Amino acid sequence: MLRVLSPLRRLLPPLAAAATLNVLLLGAAQAAEPIKIGLVAALSGQSAKSGEALTRGLTIAIDEINAAGGVLGRPLELVRRDDESNPSKGMLAARELIQREKVTALFGGLDTPVSLAIVPLANQMKVPFMGVWAAGTKITENGAKDNYVFRVSAVDELVDEALVQYGVDKMGMKKPGMILINNPWGESNETGIKRALEKRGMPHAGVERIQDSDLDVVPQLTRLKNAGADSLLLVANVGPSAQVVKSLDRMGWDVPVVSHWGPAGGRFGELAGPNAERVHFVQTYLFTEDSGEKGNALLAALKKRYPEIKSLADVTPATGIANAYDAMHLTALAIEKAGSTEGGEVRDGFYAIEQYDGLIKQYRQPFAPEKHDALGPDDYILGHFVGDQIVPIAP
């Protein structure tokens, strides 16, 4: 008996084939959708050079990851926002990147007050927040039961210990004076420095505060000098750090200065003048004429992508590039370990990283639920400006 198919029955096989094709095409399109990585940093103002360093470190790492096939078969894409070193603007920028851009991970930039403003949002929204510059201890040790904040950078409490030890060992420090920026970053370091001094039974000559807007800090320095300071422990960003050097010049006070890494964040050599090199400051990485296989390869990649880089002086501050570069590779590993871009799974992916041979060091189990900082005091080096270039200080 001859069976006659209805028009609908005759259409079903091609419709099914078309539907299957559409699903496959949609799946391929979704698989190729980029995984967005957010950056909130100072991209303008005095710290713009540091914001650019973070951008470059992330960009080169992303180039390498994408060239190797991306993450979970998808390319990474960097989306940046300028926080202008303002906590309110930083928090708004972070919220936009999380809610509108749907970033899988958020990288934080330069200023401790900005990062501290973003921390509660990242934990609330369950989006991993990777710190690559700001060193405030409470950024990672934030008390959250469900902590999504990680860091590849210095930590104030550990830096303060290193600064005091360096001052004692290299500069004969016996009674330092503290000159600290008047914000939460300065407060964080005051606590750490006092703890490091108390541990050694050492007195201090007092604590003086400075503002970003100060054009003359002679009064504060005079009080420390009169109190018998034989050295200075400095915590401030580029502008106020430069004012400290210029005020010391006006006073004719030749006193050793040991600093957190604020001076590395911009045009310190230019702003502070010829005596900029008197300030010795902490770094996590410095490019040299021979930075080893990985460092040389990164420097070559930077020169290729950014033709304006001609010499080592053009990669200042190297610490921002290095922190961001290693942190991006670690974040990509965490996403791979998670097998997902879901925040909680990526957070647990950080804990699952066993090792990564990075630029700064060889990382072994860099993160754990009770350890969200990948770098420690053994990873710090001291540098200073010679002209426009930051160079390591010989041991």
Look at residue 369 and tell me whether its pLDDT is greater than 50: yes
Domain match, 161 and 277 both: yes
CATH number at residue 345: 3.40.50.2300
How far from the centroid of its chain's Cα atoms is residue 6's Cα?
A: 67
Higher per-residue confidence, 179 vs 289: 179
Sheet holding 35-41, edge to edge: 76-82, 35-41, 105-108, 129-131, 149-151
Domain match, 230 and 138 both: no
Domain match, 179 and 255 both: yes
Domain match, 166 and 270 both: yes
Binned at pLDDT 50, 70 and 90, residue 334 comes out as very high
Write the DSSP assignment of 274-340 as a string of letters.
GGGGGEEEEES----S--HHHHHHHHHHHHHH-TT--SGGGG-SHHHHHHHHHHHHHHHHHHHHHTS
Strands 207-210 and 176-181: parallel
Q: Is residue 7 left, alpha or beta, with left meaning phi > 0 and alpha meaning psi from -120 to 50?
A: alpha
Stated pTM of the model? 0.83
Position 278, amino acid = R
Number of domains in the chain: 2
- Assess if residue 4 is contained within a domain: no
CA 362, 365, 371: angle at the middle one, nearest 5?
115
Domain match, 166 and 263 both: yes
135-150 tens-digit pLDDT: 999 999 999 999 999 9
180-239 tens-digit pLDDT: 999 988 998 999 999 999 999 999 999 999 998 999 999 999 999 999 999 999 999 889
- Assess if residue 16 is contained within a domain: no
- Assess if residue 234 is contained within a domain: yes
Binned at pLDDT 50, 70 and 90, residue 46 comes out as confident
The mean pLDDT of the chain is: 91
Binned at pLDDT 50, 70 and 90, residue 21 comes out as very low
Domain ranges, residue 232:
157-283
Report the C-alpha gap between 116 and 113 in whole angstroms: 5
What local confidence, expressed as pLDDT, does residue 218 receive?
Answer: 98
Look at residue 258 and tell me whether its pLDDT is greater than 50: yes
- Assess if residue 28 is contained within a domain: no
Please give the radius of gyration of the chain, using alpha carbons only, rounded to the nearest integer: 25
What local confidence, expressed as pLDDT, does residue 166 receive?
Answer: 95
Domain match, 279 and 296 both: no
Binned at pLDDT 50, 70 and 90, residue 5 comes out as very low
